Amino acid sequence: MPKSNIPPPLPTSPTTTTEIIKAVSPTASSPKLKNRLSVMLHNATHHNKDKVNKGNGGEITWCFSQVKGSIEEEVAEAADIISCVEFNSDGDLLATGDKGGRVVIFQRDKASKNAVPSRGEYNVYSTFQSHEPEFDYLKSLEIEEKINKIRWLQQTNRNHFLLSTNDKTIKLWKVAERNKRPEGYNLKDELGQTRNKTAIKSLRVPIFQPMELMVEASPKRVFANAHTYHINSISVNSDLETYLSADDLRINLWNLEITDQSFNIVDIKPANMEELTEVITAAEFHPKECNMFVYSSSKGSIRLCDMREQALCDKHAKLFEEPEDPTNRSFFSEIISSISDVKFSHSGKYMITRDYLSVKVWDLTMESKPVETYQVHEYLRNKLCSLYENDCIFDKFECSWSGDDKHIMTGSYNNFFRMFERDNKRDNTYEACREITKSRTVLKPRKVSTGGKRKKDEISVDCLDFNKKILHTAWHPLENIVAIAATNNLYVFSSKD
């Protein structure tokens, strides 16, 4: 009888984690080894599943992870109010700056990172005083210590570097770990006192002894005296050698190694200040093209500049501006159209801008209008008069991209923050509140009632607390973990899966 050409049936693929472990290592009898294999396999399959969900623009279920800062109902001291939030490039470090000039760095908890599923929990890593209050005697002006922006530099060795700025001075900080100390000096004793040279009869080789881990933050560079007006933005270039700093009327280009010289690349100051019609509100370098940057204005326009064209980029390469809707024209139109933040997507193909009432997504190849517009709190349009009277209309909200550029986050009032899903055009409102303190508690979407009969879970627009506002947010560059600054508290939320 001739041999059959039909191949034998393939063994069925293992589907459960237990079956996979047996298939990978049938002799793995050790519970520790089994557990490690289980965690590794779960993370691998979970990672693939995440990619599928992200590709489909799946909706994220958000859970509470932790809150840092006082959770008492007492009024927060002005110095403790968080003024900026920033993840580093791998998301393992999270830095915050406050109005008291302090920088607090949090480090991702390794146990929470390796847990199944992983959690977004951070512990205090280092705290240092970045800026002190100063006085400008020439102009008789106080210079606040408040940290306006923090930007991490790309890590190139075991140390971390970040830029922090107040209104006038930018500082480059080195954050380093020390877990060993030198001992056995020849000219000093164990207490550091100088020894009598005549008493030294023999030489010894100093050795390093282990010590308790210590994190040191030290200032490496101080970039000062280059801005007449208040600095509102700093942005590190993709060439890793330069960065820009922007104030109300000028943008300067710095080399990270040179502190006493900067190049003025944008200057919109008119010869006669009475002719001033707009100011610079934000600026950022393109994430991939080191010659390109954008800056936004108080008139609602965004200018893309190319440094290859000319040294002074007063003439923009592209102007992104949306024509005003005549039906919405009012006394407050110019105020609410002012852009408070601009951010490039990670891919560099898009950018988002935040004005008072909305977030807009712009395609860099289309200048005439945004490709997407998301209303953040349109229900406040009828309350602009009262918001003008209490100065809330001048609040500057920031916005953030998710790591895959498929979601957008920004803040609102009443400690609400908004999430927009680009693929399916879904949006949700969540609240950063003190009532939720249990880890992994799922956040319930909130609704604002604008009139008529209010449903059970809705909050009336008249009951919103405008003293509770979320201005500063940050999204982990690689995972669905977000950091929300609410007055003097830092909330961290992560996806359920």
Q: For residues 477-491, give the mean pLDDT.
A: 95
Long-range contacts (CB closer than 8 Å, 24 or more residues apart) made by 113-116: 114/39, 116/38, 116/39, 116/42, 116/43, 116/46
3-state secondary structure of 389: helix
* pLDDT tens figures, 377-435: 999 999 999 999 999 999 999 999 999 999 999 999 999 999 999 999 999 999 998 88
**Class level of CATH domain 63-95+223-496:** mainly beta
Residue 348 scores a pLDDT above 70: yes
| pLDDT of amino acid 71 | 62
pTM above 0.85, yes or no: no
Is the pLDDT at 303 greater than 50? The verdict is yes
Confidence of residue 355 (pLDDT cuts 50, 70, 90): very high
How far apart are alpha carbons 253 and 488 in whole angstroms?
33
Amino acid at 355: D
Q: What is the mean pLDDT of residues 245-269?
A: 96
Q: Which H or E run contains 462?
A: none
On the question of pLDDT at 2 being above 80, the answer is no
Per-residue model confidence (pLDDT) at position 205: 84
Give the Å distances, CA to CA, from 125 to 60, 111, 343. 29, 15, 27
**Percent of the chain predicted with pLDDT > 90:** 67
- Predicted confidence band at 34 (pLDDT cuts at 50, 70, 90)? very low
pLDDT at 245: 98
pLDDT of residue 196 exceeding 70, the answer is yes
* pLDDT > 70 fraction of the chain, expressed in percent and rounded: 87
Q: Residue count of the chain, please give it.
A: 497
Task: Please state whether 151 falls in left (phi above 0), alpha (psi between -120 and 50) or beta.
Answer: beta
